[in-house]
Amino acid sequence: MEDADIGLVGLGTMGSNLALNMAEKGFRVAVYNRTTSATEAFVAQAGDLADNLIACETYEDLASAIKAPRAVVLMVPAGKIVDKVSADLSAHLSDGDMIVDAGNANFRDTNRRAGEADKIKVMGIGVSGGAEGARHGPSIMAGGAPEAWTRMKPILTAIAADYDGVPCADFFGPEGAGHFVKAVHNGIEYADMQIIAEAYGLMRDGLGMAAGDIGGVFARWNNGALASYLTGISGEVASATDPDTGAAMLDVILDKAGQKGTGRWTAIEAQHLAAPVTVIEAAVAARNMSALIDVRGEGEALFGGAPNPVGLSLEQIEGALIAGKILCYTQGFDMLARASTAFEWDMPLPAIAEVWREGCIIRSDMLNDMARALREAPDMLLMFDGYFAKLLTDSLPHLRAVAESSIVHGHPAPALTAALGYFDTMRRARGTANMIQGQRDFFGEHGFERLDRDGKDFHGPWASNS
Ligand SMILES: NC(=O)c1ccc[n+]([C@@H]2O[C@H](COP(=O)([O-])OP(=O)(O)OC[C@H]3O[C@@H](n4cnc5c(N)ncnc54)[C@H](OP(=O)(O)O)[C@@H]3O)[C@@H](O)[C@H]2O)c1
């Protein structure tokens, strides 16, 4: 046969939609799924698009259905499964063929696989947008060898989301660079979702608003500076009614969220890179605390849990979200810049912002301004850009009021308060680490630098006393 443009392994939620997207754009796709009945059912239900799909029962069939040099996309769970599928598939591939891991791999695994790759090339791409994005246009963050990108670019840009005629698919560097960008995307996604959840909590518990009314507020905010996919769906989620009980849907959903890995990886890698991503860290920790639902019940029984009403206006809560969002994205792009330097990836930060403008979960109007700001000054913290500095200056009093009110009245707002702590730290030239350095020198003779002299190895008077 040998006439498929591309192969795809894994016809789950993401893989099946990506395959349909490729077929719709005119590519012939050879598809394989571990469970063969799923492959058959998938092609049978593909309607007209079935003409562009070739169902394969084995990796051997798959390899022989694709034009050489072959490219095969994997859409299977990350980790050992990717290694196993790659090994089994490689037995049927030839020199110059390529495996494109499109799952949420840890970028260190992708680095390893790229390093181990011999005859078969390895590419790692992050795909965001969920099932809908995969079907109609995801945001695609690619990494690997530049020639691998050159080969895959026509297909990836054709299936990607489109922002004003610009495809939301781009290449960000060697090895696991694409998967790294996807992890940071997901870290920001966690943070954005968390600050929205905190705003919801203040409206529900602090202002006593019903879910439907909160939905209306999010819908209104979605027409302003906060316009984004996440603000929009938060409005829809809050406004929805449970068809079984007639209650507000949100009021019957258990307040317990898990985390699959990418948000956690972002927080872990941030520590390696000395990147202060405090809002993302707070969001990951908040999900972990949400899972401790029984312990939280015990805490409420012991200490009392009901927070007091707050005297905040909706404008203040909106402003807090605007400031929190700018600060969280500032941290995320700073982390990407640090990774680019540390791993010598030469990542184009403005292009990352551009790829996130459409198709992905964190898509928002603000990302267009962020792309502009990063294009003008890629080495500057995003919040120092004139436009964002002004927006931050205007919205910061609201973040401060919301943080103050949350603390005084007992509302947990760990991500919003982390954002404020970051801001207050990053606008002070004279901080408090002189005390840390004094302590370190006292107990460990680590030495310190002085404000008034050059040199690194000064000691305090306590050294001579010990
Ligand atoms: N869902 C999302 O919104 C989303 C968004 C972005 C990225 N991702 C990432 O995309 C990847 C796929 O996610 P998904 O949501 O599409 O998963 P899914 O719906 O659970 O599908 C998993 C696919 O992998 C196959 N598979 C599982 N174990 C396998 C094994 N041991 N050997 C061979 N094939 C195996 C399954 O085949 P069977 O039918 O035989 O079980 C199925 O086709 C993951 O890395 C995920 O993190 C997901």
Ligand 1 close to Cβ of residue 139 (< 6 A): no
Residue whose CB lies within 8 A of the most ligand 1 atoms, among 9, 21, 34, 136, for a mutation test: 34
Q: Does some domain include residue 436?
A: no
Q: Do residues 148 and 203 both lie within one domain?
A: no
Catalytic residue among 175, 182, 198, 325: 182
- Confirm whether 443 is domain-assigned: no
Known catalytic residue: 67?
A: no
What's the gap in Å between 77 CA and the centre of ligand 1? 5
Looking at the fold, whether 59 and 157 belong to one and the same domain comes out as yes
205's tokens: 């518990």
CA 360 to chain CA centroid, nearest Å: 9
Ligand 1 centroid – CA 293 distance (Å): 28
220 lies in the same domain as 262: yes
Pair 155, 194 in one domain:
no
Please tell me the pTM assigned to this model: 0.96
* Complete DSSP assignment for 176-204: THHHHHHHHHHHHHHHHHHHHHHHHHIII
| 156 in the same domain as 238 | no
Q: What angle do CA 304, 305, 311 make, to 5 degrees?
A: 120
Whether 154 and 198 map to the same domain: the answer is: no
Q: Tell me whether residue 160 is in a domain.
A: yes
CB count within 10 Å of CB 48 equals 8
169 plus 204 within the same structural domain: no
Residue 182 annotated among the catalytic residues of the structure: yes
**Domain at 128, CATH number:** 3.40.50.720
CA of 152 to the centre of ligand 1 (A): 21
pLDDT at 362: 98
User: What pLDDT was estimated at residue 2?
Assistant: 72
From the CB of 6, is ligand 1 less than 6 Å away? no
Q: How far is the CA of 12 from the centre of ligand 1 (A)?
A: 5
Tokens of 191: 């943070």
In CATH, what number is assigned to the domain containing residue 223?
1.10.1040.10
User: Is residue 281 assigned to a domain?
Assistant: yes
125 C-alpha vs ligand 1 centroid, how far in Å?
A: 15
Q: Hey, what are 37's tokens?
A: 């009945």
Say yes or no: 204 and 170 in one domain.
no
Domain limits for position 225: 185-426
Q: Residue with the nearest Cα to atom 4 of ligand 1?
A: 130
The residue nearest atom 34 of ligand 1, judged by CA position, is 34
Asked, for residue 459, whether it belongs to a domain, the answer is: no
What pLDDT is stored for residue 465 in this prediction?
A: 53
Which of 13, 36, 136, when mutated, tests ligand 1's pocket best, judged by the most ligand atoms within 8 Å of its CB? Answer: 13
Q: Which portions of the chain are predicted below pLDDT 70?
A: 1, 463-466
- Do 205 and 133 have their domain in common? no
Summarised one tens digit per residue, pLDDT across range 372-428 is 999 999 999 999 999 999 999 999 999 999 999 999 999 999 999 999 999 999 999
Q: Name the residue at shortest CA distance from atom 15 of ligand 1.
A: 13
Q: Which of 396, 411, 426 is the C-terminal boundary of a domain?
A: 426
Q: What is the pLDDT of residue 414?
A: 98
Q: Do 94 and 29 fall into the same domain?
A: yes
Q: Which atom of ligand 1 is nearest to the CA of 78?
A: 45
If asked whether residues 393 and 420 sit together in one domain, one would say yes
State residue 463's pLDDT score.
67
Q: Is the CB of 10 under 6 A from ligand 1?
A: yes
Q: Is residue 21 part of a domain?
A: yes
Task: Indicate the residue among 145, 175, 205 that finishes a domain.
Answer: 175
For 100, the 3-state DSSP assignment is: strand
3 state SS of 225: coil
Q: What distance in angstroms lies between residue 238's CA and the mean position of ligand 1's atoms?
A: 29
155 and 215 in a single domain? The answer is no
**Exposure of 317 in the CB half-sphere (CA atoms within 13 A):** 25
Q: Let me know if residue 292 belongs to a domain.
A: yes
Residue 38 CA: which ligand 1 atom is closest? 39
Instruction: Give a yes or no: residue 373 inside a domain.
Output: yes
pLDDT of amino acid 118: 80
pLDDT attached to residue 259 = 78
How many Cβ atoms are within 10 Å of 310's Cβ, its own excluded? 23
Q: Pick from 153, 175, 197: which residue ends a domain?
A: 175
CA distances 299 to 295, 296, 411, 451, Å, are: 6, 5, 14, 46
Taking CA atoms only, the protein residue closest to ligand 1 atom 47 is 104
Looking at the structure of the chain, the number of domains it has is: 2
Q: What is the pLDDT of residue 464?
A: 59
